[in-house]
Structure 1
Amino acid sequence: MSRLNALRSRFVDAPDSLGAKARARRWQWFAQRFPDLSEMSVIDLGGTAGAWLRAPVRPAHVQIVNLEKPPANLPPWLKADVADACDLPAAILGTKYDLVFSNAVIEHVGGHLRRQLFADAVHHLADRHWVQTPYRYFPVEPHFLFPGFQYLPIAARTSLLRRWPLVHTPTSDRDAARNIVMEVELLSITEMRHYFPSSQIRFERLAGLVKSVIAIRQG
């Protein structure tokens, strides 16, 4: 492992990294907010089976919706469907869940109209929800681990991505890098309040600064 890859691991990926500790605190906060979670049916918009298999909490049933094909041989309490969270199939829309969960997904769906469709799906599927997204104005962009990355022009971000070694999936291809850059649109607090007007908006902080924004509705 190179020194720079080791640095990314230290901050984000390793079990004792700052990112892992933040995720553990978030899971704890989530469990405290929904103390009957073990009895709930949860639909996770944009999540992964791996995240739930590693999670320190376990609902009665979790249904994952993701554009990527899930792994085989999932446990009985975990189900996964390949679908677009902004255009859900009738079978999912016709099912009522106890809770909608989404972690760092709404910033990836693509533009205001699709974010609104995503939020509409959250409100439709359950009376309770937990929707988290990285905060646009935190100094370090969390996907690319580069200070102020989100404020730069697309051309500059594309050029940086092709050379910056701390990204999760490096690429030297210009078109691929541009697609990755354009796929992430971080949200502000105002936008989250717009999409989730009846929710409590809470903040996850790092060094006193807002790092992520969470829309919570407990029913």
Structure 2
Amino acid sequence: MKDLTISRFRTARGRILRRQIEKLADHLGRPVSILDVGGRPDYWENVGHERISEIRLLNIDENEIDRHGLSNLFTSEIGDARDLKGYADKSVDLVHSNSVIEHVGAWPDMSAMASEMQRVGLSGWIQTPAWEFPIEPHFRLPFLHWLAPPMRRAALKLSKDYGALDVATRRYHIDRINLLSYSEVRALFPIGNIYVEKFVFSKSYSARWGPGAA
């Protein structure tokens, strides 16, 4: 049941992103080029490749470069979401990331990523899990992210995947994820609109801007 629910949300999210791409392509009068920060090719199977000219996959970890077999549609490069110095202002038709911004660091790091994405992207789609949802999506434990960091680290012992790790390693995994609330996402992305995915509680947010995002 859980997998079916996740699949339903992903399918619905993919349809909305697909509409944004189609409207952007109509606006530009040509296929769309996409910069996918932290992306992987298999993600786009749910969205579709129609009316897309290229998808550049930008990752900070060089091990990601050769991890995936790339079709002619995809290219892969090393880069840092917090400093997209290789890209001029509004040089990307659509800048995209899926569940990445909560991994880049503390607030200054997330703010830097948000500013860079809005700088380079004529249009944008930035998705992140909602802090308000009661189940932490990475560790799949209820209420974990609502606790103070030391309590989160202690509670992580309940996880079958992380419970056997030592204190320092569990704290590392806790500190590397910072979920965002609605008001924080709005503060990071003041332009455009925010698509709220709900399952009783808010489940995820997608900041959207530019042609096609209305």
Which secondary structure state, in structure 2, belongs to the residue aligned with residue 186 of structure 1? Answer: coil
How does 1:4-83 map onto structure 2 within 5 Å? 11-12=2-3, 17-36=4-23, 39-52=31-44, 54-58=45-49, 59-68=52-61, 69-70=64-65, 71=67, 73-83=69-79
Amino acid at match of 2:183: T
Aligned to 1:132: 127
Q: TM-score, normalising length from structure 1?
A: 0.82
Aligned to 1:3: none
Amino acid at match of 2:12: R
C-alpha deviation, 1:136, in angstroms: 0.9
C-alpha deviation, 1:163, in angstroms: 3.1
Determine which of 135, 141, 144 is the counterpart of 1:146. Answer: 141
C-alpha deviation, 1:21, in angstroms: 2.0
Structure 1 residues 154 and 200, CA gap change in structure 2 (3 angstroms): same
How many residue pairs get aligned? The number is: 201
Q: TM-score, normalising length from structure 2?
A: 0.84
How does 1:60-209 map onto structure 2 within 5 Å? 60-68=53-61, 69-70=64-65, 71=67, 73-90=69-86, 92-93=87-88, 96-165=91-160, 172-207=165-200, 209=201
Deviates more, 1:183-192 or 1:64-73: 64-73
C-alpha deviation, 1:153, in angstroms: 2.3
Which secondary structure state, in structure 1, belongs to the residue aligned with residue 205 of structure 2? Answer: strand
C-alpha distance in 1 between matches for 2:92 and 2:15: 21
Aligned to 2:28: none
RMSD: 2.2
Structure 1 residues 79 and 94, CA gap change in structure 2 (3 angstroms): farther
Q: Which has the higher contact order (CA 8 A, sep 6+)?
A: 2
C-alpha deviation, 1:113, in angstroms: 1.1
Name stretches of at least 5 consecutive residues in structure 1 with no aligned partner: 1-9
Tell me if the contact between 1:128 and 1:216 (Cα under 8 Å) persists in the aligned partners. yes
